[in-house]
Chain A
Amino acid sequence: MSSNLRILVACKRVVDYAVKIRVNAAGTAVETANVKHSMNPFDEIGTEQAIQIKEKSGGKVEVIAVSCGSDKSQETLRTALAMGADRAIFVESAEELQPLAVAKLLKAVVEKEKPDMVILGKQAIDDDSNQTGQMLAGLLNWPQATFASKVELAEKAMTVTREVDGGVETIKTPLPAILTTDLRLNVPRYASLPNIMKAKKKPLTKLTIADLAVDVKPRLETLKVTEPPKRQGGKLVESVDDLVDKLKNEAKVL
């Protein structure tokens, strides 16, 4: 690439994927206090993708990580900086932010920073919404390449292979554009200790909701949260004959 490219990567702090979550006693939410959090796995893939693009370009790409949410989201941004992002933008919000609100905040950041590409994960593993990237694309009227498993950049365009039902599809979009990552896009790197130390010195800009003048009022109200029904599992069979018998005569599924 001859010209400089600027990539914005959106990162969300979520309950770590390996944690077995619990619904709180009041049945109003999932317990998040004293639970390990980390960067949403799809956002790690997004950060990795941005850094790989930068490395291929010989450093002519600037990677900006952005996160919206509570104070602790800054830890997630430090992780992105340690992976190789150049600088970070933190949009502080004490309130919970829903996908439409985040899309609007990101739109405001895009208008300030003028990136050529915004990379987001295909979904966050807490709310499982799978909306923010598409919403941002709609608000900006930019093309969107969702569920990407392969990206090739050319001058002012990208060719993206997307995971769709039953196979893959390849599309081409001009830049600027929105990209959302699927699992197969890459394997994110671990941040090394020296890079974690260096990341502490990289610039992190704090913004508030008021700075961006965005209405983030929640549109959806969570009335209750419950545990899913428990399965009556755990019955072991002795042999294949026993299994066949049970499936035919007890479960009647064969």
Chain B
Amino acid sequence: MFALRRTALPAFSLARTYATSGNVSTLLLVEHKDNKVAASTLNALTAASKLGGSITALVAGNAPDTVVSEVAKLSGVSKILVAKSDAFTHALPESHATLLVETQKKHGFTHLVASHSAFGKNVMPRAAAILDVAQVSDITGVESADTFVRPIYAGNAIATVKSNDGIKVITVRNTAFPAAGQQDSAASQEDAPSISADKNLAEFVSEHMQKSDRPELDSATRVIAGGRGMKNGENFGMLYELADKIGAAVGASRAAVDAGYVDNSLQIGQTGKIVAPELYIAVGISGAIQHLAGMKDSKTIVAINKDPEAPIFQVADYGLVGDLFTAVPELTKKL
């Protein structure tokens, strides 16, 4: 569906003009939960700053004050639009997309940006369709204000894509951009346009979040992941011990999740989380295409597997062929 065919390019496009601060104005949709800005929004902000031009942040919530003051201090944010309403208590896409569209109509941004998180993925395409523009999903690079790099086919090919729409709607792969820092002067604030409530849409019922003291999987600098080779959920205890010793997050392959060893939210891969830590330790994971899609941009990859033919060894910087049930405790002891 993506135009993978090369379309004929007019000659002048070869000398592409790059974005100048005069014509780019970006709206960043801020994701937050429990009064804290989501880490992935900081990465999306860095991507937004690569577009050149001004960055306005949109913060929506029923009581967003704490989040607004946090966002005001983020490097590169010049203005914050605040939408305070009970309609935004939960991250429902219907209200958030309507807000984005109304904000766009009033302010006329050139770019709408959010992180490619469950929230961003849910909201942004809905808004893009209402605005009748395409979306460029999960970008890993900004070439210019209209040209972006993104992985396709589970990361087995990298496409460079130019958007010909007047408004560029973009979601950002958080691991591809560093987190934005702080700035000295706080951004100014303004009210976002109000939206009328549509009663005929979705309502929030409940949520169940996995509680953990370990770092968040998608922003951790070290990740240890277990696969089918772990044999059961109890054996993941070994990985937790090792993880706690080196301050790592714990993840899993699809096989481990499907077998019920750990919760779905720990899945790493094409359809789960994408991670790119300094150190990734794959334990009892064979290395299917779909799993590699989620971790092969890690800086250093270690594989522990008893099968020397496992594809994971083809991407691992260090491979240990052996029984994980002896190797992992030994590793924990020696660190």
Contact = CB atoms under 8 A, between A and B. Distances in A.
Interface of A: 12, 15, 17-18, 20-21, 23, 26, 28-30, 42, 69, 96-103, 122-139, 141, 143-147, 149, 159, 162-174, 177, 182-184, 218-228, 231-237, 239-241, 243-244, 246-247, 251, 253-254
B136 interface: yes
A97 B134 CA distance: 12
A223 B147 contact: yes
A136 B320 CA distance: 48
Contacts of B335: 244, 254
Contacts of B270: 125, 128
Contacts of A96: 1-5
A172 B202 contact: yes
A102 B129 CA distance: 11
A120 to B, nearest CB: 11
Q: Identify whether the interface residues of A are mostly helix, strand, loop, or mixed.
A: mixed
Contact of B290 (A17, A144, A147, A232): A17
Interface in B124-175: 124-130, 132-138, 147, 151-165
Interface of B: 1-7, 9, 90, 92-94, 97, 117-119, 121-130, 132-138, 147, 151-165, 198, 200-210, 216, 218, 222, 246, 254, 258, 263-265, 270-271, 273, 278-279, 289-290, 296, 299-302, 308, 313-321, 327, 330-331, 334-335
11 contacts: A18-B289, A21-B153, A125-B270, A132-B125, A135-B125, A135-B129, A144-B126, A171-B92, A223-B147, A237-B319, A243-B318
Contacts of A184: 264
B161 A159 contact: no
A222 B157 contact: no
Contact of A170 (B133, B207, B263): B207
Contact of A138 (B129, B138, B202): B129
Contact of B158 (A102, A225, A232): A225
A131 B135 contact: yes
A223 B152 CA distance: 14
Contacts of A167: 207-210, 263, 265
A132 to B, nearest CB: 8
A219 B3 CA distance: 9
B209 to A, nearest CB: 4
A138 B134 contact: no
Contacts of B290: 17
Contacts of A169: 90, 204, 206-208
Contact of B137 (A128, A227, A239): A128
